[in-house]
Amino acid sequence: MRYAVTTGSNIQINAYDLAQFYKSIYPAGALQYVTLDGVPAVGSLYYNYYSASRYGTSVREQITAVNRSRSFYMSPSSPSEYALTELTYVPAGSNYCTTIPFTAYGTGGQSVSGSILISVTGKAVSEVYGPTPKNTAVTFPASSIYAAVTAATGSAPSGIQLLKLPAANVGTIYVGSGTATPANTTTIYGYNTGSQQMGQLRFVPKTNYTGSVDIPYVAVNANGTAIASGMFSLGVLNSNKRFNDINASTWCYKYVTELADASVIGGYANGNFKPDNTVTYGAALKLIMLAAGYPEQAPTVKGSTFSGYLSKAQADGLVTRSNVNLNGPITRLQVAQLAAGALKLDINNLSSVKPFSDTADVYVQALNAAGIVGGYFSNGTSTFRPSNTLTRGQISAIVWRMQNYRK
């Protein structure tokens, strides 16, 4: 698991990230608690940093070698148990990476060990992203990765080390022009030095694969010390459908580009996407249902484009009220309820610790647990702002995460 934070900010460890990590190893299991196998070498880890927790202790407590072995529960059953949701990392300095090793325990006595990597930089390391046609090899954009790390740290990286390789059904990273040397997660690929360099890395997608590819890395200095973590991402497409008002610098470019290729979203007749326009209930309903795997729905009411989606949603219990204004705005709460229902997310095995102070809705919690929506964190309190409306760009980000969650 990877976290990034800028100097002067703290980061709260997301309990659901650990739960998803555990489930990736034991799909039929559920995370019960975590013990820490070490503390970060740089910076400090705290329990109840903001003194707002109802579990374990009412005061701030630094995690040290003495108390790190206690159990942090995914769903505490009493106020005396410590909650996994209350771990906060506080940086010390800048331009470094540190790790927190842990062991996660779940149902059936199963356990798995892992580590949390935290990258601390002066500015956020920009994701390097680009669309590419399917069945086309892509050489790593070494200069773009170099520039992203330099802009964030103020230091020139000497090279990168890959943290995770794509799954075999997605594609393979090779070194050089052939297929004799697959890349690995132990070699440091130099920027302009060494026998194996960043610019020699080449991603070859699996035949006819389309979708998202994320390749995380750590950047190192001349001494081989990690100074930052970043991400190189690709959208492997059938075709790149372009919009007049969306380009590579638009924050939702990645989501819109890949969803348009998957025929989940479209633009207007004039070739614009209008990412800052408020999304209507009907448009959001269609996008959510398509991302969840529903087929196109023909209108059931003449002149009402989204009426077929509403009829299907009502028939399937996704929408239980009859007075829906398809042309009006949709709220974040309504989006969460629709998305969690369409994905058939489990709402019965959630943590007893509610993630947001302004809503206890189980569908919001389930969607948050799946990593599809987040909240707004300030001074120890997370809010969801359930009554807020969304723009077309914002709904694209949620729908993109829904689609990738299903893969």
Q: What is the mean pLDDT of residues 180-196?
A: 94
Residue 216 lies inside a defined structural domain of this protein: yes
Residue 379 has pLDDT above 80, yes or no: no
Task: Tell me the pLDDT tens digit for each residue of 313-369.
Answer: 999 999 998 889 999 999 999 999 999 999 999 998 888 888 999 999 999 999 999
Task: Tell me the pLDDT tens digit for each residue of 108-162.
Answer: 889 999 999 999 999 999 999 999 999 999 999 999 999 999 999 999 999 999 9
Residues 318 and 217 in one domain: no
Q: What is the mean pLDDT of the chain?
A: 94
Domain boundary among 121, 140, 166: 121
| pLDDT given for residue 351 in this prediction | 87
Across 56-70, 176-190, 344-358, least confident range = 344-358
Rounded to whole angstroms, the Cα distance separating 257 from 271 reads 13
Q: How is residue 267 written in tokens?
A: 């633009």
Q: Which helix (H) or strand (E) holds 395?
A: helix 392-406
| pLDDT given for residue 277 in this prediction | 95
Residues 116 and 139 in one domain: no
Residues 330 and 308 in one domain: yes
Residues 268 and 398 in one domain: yes
Of 380, 372, 341, 351, nearest to 19 by C-alpha is 351
Handedness of CA 390, 393, 396, 397 (dihedral sign): negative
What is the number of structural domains in the chain? Answer: 3
| pLDDT given for residue 207 in this prediction | 97
Residues 263 and 170 in one domain: no
Task: Tell me the pLDDT tens digit for each residue of 251-306.
Answer: 999 999 999 999 899 899 999 999 999 999 999 999 999 999 999 999 999 989 99
Give Cα 203 distance to the centre of its chain.
Answer: 22
Q: How is residue 233 written in tokens?
A: 């991402």
Q: How is residue 66 written in tokens?
A: 């003495």
Residues 135 and 117 in one domain: no
Contact 260, 381 (CB under 8 A): no
| pLDDT given for residue 231 in this prediction | 98
Residues 232 and 290 in one domain: no
Q: What is the mean pLDDT of residues 225-254?
A: 95
Residue 179 lies inside a defined structural domain of this protein: yes
**35 confidence band (pLDDT: 50, 70, 90):** very high
CATH number of the domain to which 40 belongs: 2.60.40
Of 366, 314, 316, 376, nearest to 339 by C-alpha is 366
Burial letters for 116-148: b for 16+ Cβ neighbours within 10 Å, e otherwise? bbbbbbeeebeebbebbebeeebebbbeebbeb
Contact 228, 97 (CB under 8 A): yes
Residue at 304: amino acid letter? S
Of 152, 113, 393, nearest to 275 by C-alpha is 393
Q: How is residue 212 written in tokens?
A: 């998202």
| pLDDT given for residue 352 in this prediction | 87
Of 173, 225, 34, 52, nearest to 116 by C-alpha is 34
Pairing of strands 128-133, 226-237: parallel
Of 356, 352, 348, 335, nearest to 12 by C-alpha is 356
Of 158, 331, 131, nearest to 241 by C-alpha is 131
Which residues 6+ apart lie within 8 Å of 144 measured at CB? 128
Residues 401 and 285 in one domain: yes
| pLDDT given for residue 377 in this prediction | 83
Q: How is residue 399 written in tokens?
A: 């729908």
DSSP conformational letter for 3: E
Residue 245 lies inside a defined structural domain of this protein: no
**245 confidence band (pLDDT: 50, 70, 90):** very high
Residue indicated by tokens 């509610």? 354
Residue 407 has pLDDT above 80, yes or no: no
Q: How is residue 76 written in tokens?
A: 């505490």
How many helices (H) and strands (E) are present in the chain, helices listed first?
A: 8, 20
Residue 111 β-bridge partners: 105
| pLDDT given for residue 232 in this prediction | 98
Residue 321 lies inside a defined structural domain of this protein: yes
Residue 244 lies inside a defined structural domain of this protein: no
Domain boundary among 237, 263, 287: 237
Handedness of CA 245, 248, 250, 254 (dihedral sign): positive
Handedness of CA 242, 248, 251, 253 (dihedral sign): positive
Task: Tell me the pLDDT tens digit for each residue of 335-348.
Answer: 999 999 999 999 98
Torsion of CA 70, 74, 75, 76, to 10 degrees: 10
In the chain, pLDDT over 70 holds for what percent of residues?
100
| pLDDT given for residue 212 in this prediction | 95
Residue 246 lies inside a defined structural domain of this protein: no
Contact 317, 340 (CB under 8 A): no
Domain boundary among 106, 121, 136: 121
Residues 217 and 139 in one domain: yes
Residue at 177: amino acid letter? S
| pLDDT given for residue 385 in this prediction | 96
Q: How is residue 59 written in tokens?
A: 């005061």
Burial of residue 25, with CB atoms counted within 10 A of its CB: 0-12 exposed, 13-18 middle, 19 or more buried: middle
Domain that holds residue 175: 128-237
Residue 378 lies inside a defined structural domain of this protein: yes
Residue 333 lies inside a defined structural domain of this protein: yes
Residues 54 and 182 in one domain: no
Residues 209 and 262 in one domain: no
| pLDDT given for residue 162 in this prediction | 98
| pLDDT given for residue 350 in this prediction | 87
Rounded to whole angstroms, the Cα distance separating 123 from 351 reads 33
Residues 186 and 164 in one domain: yes
Q: What is the pTM of this model?
A: 0.91
Residue 78 has pLDDT above 90, yes or no: yes
| pLDDT given for residue 107 in this prediction | 87
